[in-house]
Structures are given as C-alpha cells and as structure tokens.
Amino acid sequence: MRHKPLREQVIVITGASSGIGLATARMAAERGARVVLAARSGDVLARLAEEIGTGRAVAVTADVGRREDVQAVADAALAAFGGFDTWVNVAGLTVYGPLREIAQEDHERLIRTNLWGTVNGSLVAAEHLRARGGALINVGSIASDLAFPFQGLYATSKHAVKGFTDTLRMELIAEDAPVSVTLVKPASIDTPLPDRARNYMDCQPTLPPPIYPPEEVANAILHAAVHPQRDIIVGGGGKLFVMGKEFAPGAYDHLARAIIALQKRPEPPTAPEGALHAPRAAGRERGDPPVYVMRTSAYTRATLHPLATAGVVAAGLAATAALLLRGGPFGRSRP
C-alpha cells in the first residue's frame, strides 16, 4: 500500500503540544502537509497554528481520553479540509514510582490517556479512512515489548496499545479496507516527558540511555504516512534491548535495579504532580537529559528503506551496542 505524497495530505496529530507530537507537526508542515493539531493545551496549539500559517493548520483543544473530544477533532478536520489522510496518535504521559505506591486515580488517568486515547483516536480515524483510504499511525514504545520498573503502568499501557493496534490491523485487512496501520516504537527520546510525569520518587526522573532526538520519531511517522510499515523501532539501542529480552528474558529481569537507577537524577523533584491530570509545561519539543543525546539513529534510517543493506543495520547496532556498554545498564552513564 502506498499513500499520497505528504504535500497532498491532511494529517491529524494528537499530543501536538509537546515532544514527539510537536516535532511531528512542525516537520509535517515543513514538508507541505496541512495539519490538525489536538491536545489539552489550547494556548500552545493556537500559537503553533499561527506559526504554521493560516489555512495550513487547525487547532482543537481535546482530551483524547474522551471519545466526544476525539470525534470533535475529526469533525474539525472535515470542516476545515474536507477530511484527513493520516491520523497519528501520539498523546501520552507517564508516572514514575513503585506500583504499590501509586494512587488508583493516577493509574486510571494514565490508562485513559495512553490506551483509551489511542483506542478512541484509532476507531474514529478508521471510520473515516475506510472510505477515503489512508494511514493510521500509533506511537507505542519499546515498552510495548519490554517492562520498565518504576514506569510499570506506562509499560502496561504500551503493551496494550500494541495488542490493540495489531488486532485493529488484522480486522482492517480482513475487510480489505484501504487503511495501513503502523506501530512506531521509540526508545528513550529527548522530550519533556520526565518533566511532565507524575513523580512519586524522591528525585527528579529521567530516561535511560541511549537517548535519541524527537525528530527521528517524527521522520519515521511521516515516512509511514506515505510508505507504510507494520512496525518501526526508533533507536538502535531500543532494538538491542528488545532482542536481548527476547533472547534472555530472565537475564533482563535481573537488570531491574540498574534500570531503576538509570531513571533517577540526583536533583530533588521539581513538579511531582506533573501534567497527568491537567496540562502543564507544554510547548517544548526537547527535555534536558543529563546524558548525551544521539544525533540520529542509523539503524532506524536504514530500516525505513527497503533497499537498506544488512551491513548498514549491523553497523548501526554495533555502534549503539558500544554506547550501551559504556553508558547503559552494563556500564556507567556518561556525564
């Protein structure tokens, strides 16, 4: 299946006010697409729509955990542009802390955003795309394949997103619907996610290395909007973690203490409530991780093109493995 060039598409992006969603919106607009921007932070979206330009962007304040809000996003796309060609579910948050300490309302809010937001967006989008054709792209995580202690409900939600996405894809194939379904699974990405997290720890949270720029995820998303792929892992480090866990799941389980340690910064927590229940600290693509951020992912760039050689992929994985041995769970983090 092949879709329209980006310059001819209308793309809906949830979670467009921060991180990956914000980077994707800007990149899509730069490549000529018209965009429908959805998030809870309406003021940020309004500024972003103005930045992109009149007639090129529409902003819709929406909580993706509410089906009626998601339907309003689709209706706005129909009113402004006559419909949409690609729908991207990006909106997501996390909670840091031991499962036993996290309040039930925080568990439920995270699942409502991360899982139900994806379910709502996917089902609303599929109804439109069945007749028009196009792409549905869900942003999961390598946590769709791995567990992360102290981000347990985040991993739970991303496992569920994978199961839902795979099922919906199969049902659309059974219908012969002209809709591609892609699951994008980023590794650690330099976004404000830790700063916007609900935090139960006694220190500021962070992401385990290696960390990749949000533009790598945006590029993968927009590639899938034209050249669909079933799954895309963003970050060779993520691919190595997934491979290692599949090869030796018991050994991966025993990395628990190291993985917990790599999610902690020495600074005290700054805003432990985060943006879980109300929008906060939106408007930034990047965070401030205390470790080196990779410039690109050679592994991911190679996997986006069918003629990529095994040698290119292997070289990217080898370089990432060397970094992991120096700064991941098997070595000391870089300053």
Question: Which CATH number do you get for residue 100?
Answer: 3.40.50.720
What is the C-alpha to C-alpha distance for residues 173 and 130, in angstroms, rounded to an integer?
A: 11
Residue with token string 């902690």: 264
> Do the domain assignments include residue 29?
yes
Instruction: Give the contacts of 15 (CB within 8 A, at least 6 positions apart).
Output: 21, 38, 39, 64, 89, 90, 91, 92
What is the C-alpha to C-alpha distance for residues 20 and 143, in angstroms, rounded to an integer?
A: 16
> Do the domain assignments include residue 181?
yes
Structure tokens at 8: 């001819």
One pLDDT digit (tens) per residue for the chain, 335 residues: 789 999 999 999 999 999 999 999 999 999 999 999 999 999 999 999 999 999 999 999 999 999 999 999 999 999 999 999 999 999 999 999 999 999 999 999 999 999 999 999 999 999 999 999 999 999 999 999 999 999 999 999 999 999 999 999 999 999 999 999 999 999 999 999 999 999 999 999 999 999 999 999 999 999 999 999 999 999 999 999 999 999 999 999 999 999 999 999 999 999 999 999 999 989 999 999 999 999 999 999 999 986 654 555 555 555 555 555 555 554 443 33
> Do the domain assignments include residue 333?
no
> Do the domain assignments include residue 335?
no
- Write out pLDDT tens, residues 284-324: 999 999 999 999 999 999 999 866 545 555 555 555 555 55
Domain count, the chain: 1
> Do the domain assignments include residue 332?
no
- Please give the pLDDT value at position 309: 47
- Please give the pLDDT value at position 305: 85
- Please give the pLDDT value at position 323: 57
User: Is 96 labeled as catalytic in the residue annotation?
Assistant: no
- Please give the pLDDT value at position 331: 44
Catalytic residue among 154, 200, 212, 252: 154
- Please give the pLDDT value at position 2: 84
DSSP string, 136-168: EEEE--GGGTS--TT-HHHHHHHHHHHHHHHHH
Structural domain including 11 reads 6-327
> Do the domain assignments include residue 1?
no
Cα end-to-end span (Å), the chain: 45
